[in-house]
């Protein structure tokens, strides 16, 4: 097992290299460049040349890549063109925000979706099932930012019970932090929950008609034990995959939520940087995303073997 | 006493009390915090290096040597008087007893240092001062600028872009540090920038040279990127001043007596336009451009698009170069078809109109233009591009027809509106690629004299030719708005550039 984990971690390196090379060249091939993005209509050839010079953008692309890669190996992610700040510092400020949002949203999502999915499956075609399916349908159809603005209007503007914008870390002040994270997490959680509810429901339905479930019931096991211990564990494997993917996405920041609720997270940073053609920030952020994704995938694979002992990595 | 006399006495008393209290009500009050909600805090707070055109937060901490008043006349600011002995020499007598927020004295040496910084490679305002040859310190409070050639817009450059920063602060913090901690002589001193949480705080400069000002204790800027959330901040009282009211909410806010909505840009130097690439067929033919001018019904466009107002041509009412007698052609689709046939396009032609993506008003405009041009046989294909992609294409000349705006190029001098756009040797001639020697002559001549009346005449001559030849269509101008709590006073009049209030005059009452 340990060797498997080590092998997977070593596989990170070619993956990250591939990702960074593709990102590096892709963003440079996109029309527009940092100088015109920053200067806009007032761009003159001299101003453009000056910006290109100070950011090393006048060098050939492969050289730029090697210079950047060299710095990254020393944990120097470079300087943002738009903000003139160290990128590592910027990321360290934004990552916790997206992380806290992601974790709380995921908890809310799982807290809603798994029970709903199970009940929907077990009580198939009853009113509970229909309500569960309606909920999932709404969650997938309703745009996140619309839901967010609606919640803000009700709770922050009309009822004044929750803050309108901003972020406080849960580690600095748990109750204030939670108040600021509540509406964004509910919004994001609803959106995530929709997919997981459907997934849980359909996986449970598949499993519930398997022979071993009938056997378990025939053995005289209580229904609760049959569902929670036997059916659920087997149904969870595809659900775990989906949840893992979702977690990978939202750990990188959810830009629409961050914009609506004015949270200083990673999503906003990356989208703004793409529009501003802030190449070093985009490269650093994508590198971070790739790292997170690979690690989450590894975690999910390891969890599989926990859920289903038949899966092993010896 | 007779009843009638008592009545008269009462009326007089009421009148007097009314007059007195109304005068009292207009008295500005000291104190209070202005909380401004905007969609973004500028990444650099250094007015000499501000990465594109900035928000008001760039200017709160600073002054210039001279400034404009409401009538666009030059008035003293950090300089109390000036002489122009010949058209390449400018002598300024500085205000004494002015200090920067860090205690450094403001004097001729500081001015010289600032000019040198503004001309350096680091500066993004060097093009406004490129004619400066020498800066001499005559004595502690007298500075002499010598220009290479006569350059009439020099005073405008000083008023619009010559912000004086503290040399000590830049030397201590370095350029990059200064971008996050501005130090100037202005009415408000920088306190704190919390980039992570989007909050910028300025407080009253207690040693401000303009005695009695400012009124506010503090100005706080909060960064809320989403339009709707910003509006909520105003509605819940968490902000009492809102920049960038979302276009869809303007009507609703205007109707409500709870907020005052002020049009930004309405009296400004900004214009919106449709530009042709005069180097590309068919727009190298003046008659084709004229045909399109006839084919577009400007009045209808303005009525149809929300928040659009009419402008006569490249010099709007906000500029002293404005010509009230200027007339462009009116709507005449038959004439348009005639001209097109004469020019060799009896069946019209195909053209691509490029617009940038973040602007719903421009999308609506494009659709209206497409419809109107279709009626004269021109088939428009609308292409939506991201801002940087569009600009890159334009610098390479890969465009035919584009919708853009122009804010006067950061200057209130007609030079910014005409020279920079239409002079064949001008900076940004990739916008229309227009070329006319006579126009060039007028524009060059207008640089050489400082007599405003003479310059106005020259600009009017140039403008007349430009409008006749239509390198652009000046259909109108998109207006945007700010909104504030009625308790906030002194917002109007806006700065002569139109964009924001003169913050040292703003006060909070009841």
Dihedral sign, CA of A277, A278, A284, A289?
A: negative
* Partner-chain contact A259 B121, CB within 8 Å: no
**ipTM tops the 0.90 cut:** no
Subunit contact B232:A82, Cβ cutoff 8 A: no
Please enumerate in sequence order all residues whose Cβ is within 8 A of that of B329, keeping only pairs 6 or more positions apart, or say none. B290, B293, B294
First to last CA, chain A: 6
Q: What is the DSSP letter of A171?
A: T
Which residues of B fall within a CB distance of 8 Å from A44? 127, 427-428
Mutate to test the interface with B, among A54, A87, A262 (most CBs of B within 10 A): A262
Strand order of the sheet with strand B142-147?
Answer: B79-86, B89-94, B142-147, B132-139
Q: Find the helix packing angle between A232-251 and A174-208, rounded to 10°.
A: 140
> Is-cis flag, bond preceding B214, omega within 30?
yes
Question: Token digits for B187?
Answer: 């009415």
Instruction: Check if B120 contacts A (Cβ < 8 Å).
Output: no
Which positions in chain A touch B389 (Cβ < 8 Å)? 30-32
The predicted pLDDT at position B22 comes to 54
Chain B contact set for A262 (CB, 8 A)? 198, 223-226, 229
- The span from the CA of B41 to the CA of A151, in Å, is 26
Per-residue burial over B319-334, b = 16 or more CB atoms within 10 Å of its CB, e = otherwise: bbbbbeeeeebebebe
H-assigned helices in A74-143: 87-122, 127-141
Task: Give the C-alpha separation, B316 to B414, whole Å.
Answer: 10
In A, minimum Cα distance to B410 occurs at: A42
Distance CA B178, CA B158 (A): 21
Instruction: State which residue of chain B sits closest to A31, comparing Cα positions.
Output: B389
Q: Residue B271 and residue B476: Cα distance in Å, rounded?
A: 7
Above 80 in pLDDT, residue A105? yes
Provide CB contacts within 8 A for A161, sequence distance 6+: A155
Q: Which two tokens stand for residue A276?
A: 């501003």
Contact with chain B for residue A277, Cβ under 8 A = yes
The answer to whether B392 contacts A33, with C-beta atoms less than 8 Å apart, is yes
Beta carbons of B229 and A152 less than 8 Å apart: yes
Place of tokens 């002293």: B320
Pick A264's closest partner by Cβ from B198, B238, B387: B198
Closest CA in chain A for residue B45: A83
Nearest Cα to B468, choosing from B284, B290, B283? B290
What are the distances in angstroms from CA A47 to CA A32, B125, B297? 15, 10, 38
State residue B157's pLDDT score. 93
- Phi, psi (degrees; rounded to nearest 5) at B453: -65, -45
Q: What is the pLDDT of residue B5?
A: 74
Residue to mutate among B388, B390, B408, with most A CBs inside 10 A, is B388
The 3-state secondary structure of B419-476 reads HHHHCCCCCCCCCCCCCCHHHHHHHHHHHHCCCHHHHHHHHHHHHHHHHHHCCEEEEE
CB A44 within 8 A of CB B430: no
Q: What is the pLDDT of residue B21?
A: 57
Nearest CA-CA distance, residue B461 and chain A, Å: 26
CA distance B302 to B309: 6
Q: Is the pTM of this model over 0.80?
A: yes
CB contact under 8 A, B236 and A262: no
**Residue A216 forms contact with B (CB below 8 Å):** no
**B43 lies within 8 A of chain A by CB:** yes
- Phi, psi torsion values for B75, nearest 5 degrees: -125, 155
In Å, how far is A164's CA from the nearest CA of chain B? Answer: 7
- Whether the CB of B374 is below 8 Å from some CB of chain A: the reply is no
* pLDDT confidence band for A193 (50 / 70 / 90): very high
Cα–Cα distance between A92 and A94 in angstroms, integer? 6
Q: What is the pLDDT of residue B53?
A: 58
Q: What angle do CA B78, B205, B172 make, to 5 degrees?
A: 80
Q: How far apart are CA B412 and CA B156, in angstroms?
A: 7
Compare CB distances from B124 to A47, A167, A268 and report the shortest one's residue: A47
A40 contacts B387? CB cut-off 8 A:
yes
> ∠ CA(B80), CA(B83), CA(B88), 5° rounding?
130
Residues of A with Cβ-Cβ distance to B387 under 8 angstroms:
32, 37, 40, 275
Mean pLDDT by 10 residues, chain B (510 residues): 69 63 71 93 89 77 93 94 94 96 96 96 87 95 96 93 95 93 96 92 95 95 92 92 86 86 80 91 91 92 86 87 89 93 91 87 91 93 89 87 83 86 78 89 91 93 93 89 91 82 91
- Cβ pair B47, B62 in contact under 8 A: yes
Query: How far, in Å, CA of A279 to CA of B209, rounded?
Result: 44
- What CA dihedral angle connects A78, A84, A88 and A92, to 10 degrees? -170
Measured between CB atoms, does A135 come within 8 Å of chain B?
no
- Tell me how close the Cα of A63 comes to any Cα of chain B, in angstroms: 23
Residue B94: strand pairing partners: B79
Amino acid B389: pLDDT: 85
A262 touches chain B (CB under 8 A): yes
Q: Which of A18-22, A129-133, B169-173, B426-430 has the lowest mean pLDDT?
A: B426-430
Interface contacts A/B by beta carbons within 8 Å: 107
Residue B26: exposure state from Cβ atoms within 10 A (0-12, 13-18, ≥19): exposed
- Say which residues have a Cβ less than 8 Å from residue B90's Cβ, sequence separation at least 6: B82, B83, B84, B144, B145, B147, B154, B155
- Residue in chain A nearest B43 by alpha carbon: A83
Q: Does A65 touch chain B (CB under 8 A)?
A: no
Pick the residue of B37, B179, B270, B392 with the most A CBs within 10 A to test the interface with A by mutation: B392
- The residue of B123, B225, B231, B431 whose CB has the most chain A CBs within 10 angstroms, and thus the best one to mutate to test that interface, is B225
As a whole number of Å, the CA-based R_g of chain B is 25
């Amino acid at each position: 097992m340990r060797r498997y984990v080590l092998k997977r971690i070593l596989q990170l390196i070619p993956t990250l290299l591939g990702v960074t090379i593709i990102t590096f060249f892709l963003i440079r091939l996109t029309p527009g460049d940092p100088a015109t993005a920053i200067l806009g209509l007032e761009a003159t050839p001299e101003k453009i040349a000056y910006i290109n010079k100070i950011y090393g953008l006048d060098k050939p692309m492969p050289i730029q890549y090697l210079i950047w890669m060299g710095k990254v190996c020393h944990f120097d992610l470079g300087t943002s063109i738009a903000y003139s700040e160290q990128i590592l510092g910027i990321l360290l400020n934004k990552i916790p925000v997206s992380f806290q949002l992601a974790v709380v949203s995921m908890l809310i999502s799982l807290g809603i979706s798994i029970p709903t999915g199970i009940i929907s499956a077990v009580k198939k075609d009853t009113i509970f099932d229909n309500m569960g399916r309606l909920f999932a349908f709404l969650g997938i159809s309703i745009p996140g930012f619309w839901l967010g603005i609606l919640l803000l209007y009700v709770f922050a503007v009309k009822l004044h019970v929750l803050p309108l914008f901003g972020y406080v870390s849960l580690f600095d002040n748990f109750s204030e932090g939670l108040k600021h994270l509540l509406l964004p997490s509910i919004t994001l959680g609803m959106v995530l929950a929709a997919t997981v509810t459907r997934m849980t429901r359909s996986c449970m339905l598949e499993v519930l008609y398997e022979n071993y479930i009938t056997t378990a019931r025939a053995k005289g096991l209580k229904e609760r034990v049959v569902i929670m211990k036997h059916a659920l564990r087997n149904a969870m494997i595809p659900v775990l995959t989906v949840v893992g993917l979702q977690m990978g996405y939202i750990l990188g920041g959810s830009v629409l939520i961050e914009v609506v609720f004015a949270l200083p997270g990673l999503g906003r940073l990356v989208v703004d940087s793409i529009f501003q053609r802030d190449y070093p920030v985009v490269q650093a952020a994508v590198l971070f995303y790739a790292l997170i994704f690979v690690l989450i995938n590894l975690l999910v694979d390891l969890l599989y073997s926990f859920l289903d002992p038949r899966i092993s990595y010896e | 006493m007779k009843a009638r006399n008592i009545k008269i006495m009462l009326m007089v008393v009421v009148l007097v009390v009314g007059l007195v209290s109304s005068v009292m009500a207009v008295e500005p009050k000291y104190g209070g915090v202005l909380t401004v909600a905007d969609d973004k805090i500028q990444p650099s707070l250094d007015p000499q290096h501000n990465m594109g055109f900035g928000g008001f937060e760039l200017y709160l901490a600073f002054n210039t040597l001279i400034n404009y008043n409401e009538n666009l006349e030059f008035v003293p600011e950090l300089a109390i008087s000036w002489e122009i002995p010949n058209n390449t020499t400018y002598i300024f007598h500085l205000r004494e007893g002015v200090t920067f927020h860090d205690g450094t004295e403001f004097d001729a040496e500081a001015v010289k240092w600032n000019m040198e910084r503004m001309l350096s490679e680091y500066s993004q305002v060097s093009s406004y001062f490129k004619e400066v040859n020498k800066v001499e310190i005559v004595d502690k409070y007298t500075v002499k600028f010598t220009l290479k050639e006569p350059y009439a817009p020099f005073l405008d450059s000083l008023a619009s872009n010559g912000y004086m920063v503290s040399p000590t602060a830049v030397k201590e913090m370095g350029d990059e540090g200064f971008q996050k901690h501005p130090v100037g002589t202005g009415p408000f001193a920088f306190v704190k920038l919390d980039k992570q949480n989007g909050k910028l705080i300025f407080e009253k400069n207690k040693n401000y040279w303009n005695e009695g000002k400012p009124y506010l204790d503090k100005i706080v800027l909060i960064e809320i990127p989403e339009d709707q959330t910003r509006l909520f901040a105003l509605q819940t009282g968490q902000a009492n001043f809102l920049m960038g009211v979302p276009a869809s909410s303007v009507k609703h806010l205007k109707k409500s007596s709870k907020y005052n909505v002020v049009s930004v840009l309405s009296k400004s130097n900004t214009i919106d336009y449709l530009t042709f690439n005069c180097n590309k067929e068919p727009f190298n033919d003046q008659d084709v451009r004229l045909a399109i001018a006839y084919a577009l019904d400007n009045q209808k466009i303005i009525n149809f698009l929300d928040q659009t107002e009419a402008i006569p041509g490249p010099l709007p009412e906000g500029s002293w170069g404005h010509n009230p007698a200027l007339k462009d052609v009116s709507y005449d689709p038959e004439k348009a078809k005639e001209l097109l046939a004469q020019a060799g396009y009896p069946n019209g032609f195909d053209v691509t109109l490029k617009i940038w993506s973040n602007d719903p008003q421009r999308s609506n405009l494009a659709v209206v233009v497409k419809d109107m041009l279709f009626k004269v046989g021109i088939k428009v294909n609308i292409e939506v591009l991201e801002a940087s992609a569009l600009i890159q294409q334009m610098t390479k000349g890969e465009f035919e027809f584009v919708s853009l705006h122009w804010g006067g190029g950061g200057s209130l001098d007609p030079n910014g509106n005409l020279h920079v756009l239409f002079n064949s040797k001008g900076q940004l001639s990739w916008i229309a690629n227009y070329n006319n020697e006579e126009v060039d002559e007028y524009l060059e001549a207008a640089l050489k004299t400082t007599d405003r009346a003479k310059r106005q005449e020259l600009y009017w001559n140039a403008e007349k030719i430009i409008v006749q030849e239509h390198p652009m269509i000046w259909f109108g101008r998109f207006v945007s708005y700010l909104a504030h709590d009625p308790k906030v006073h002194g917002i109007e009049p806006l700065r002569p550039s139109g964009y924001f209030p003169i913050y040292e005059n703003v006060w909070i009452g009841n």
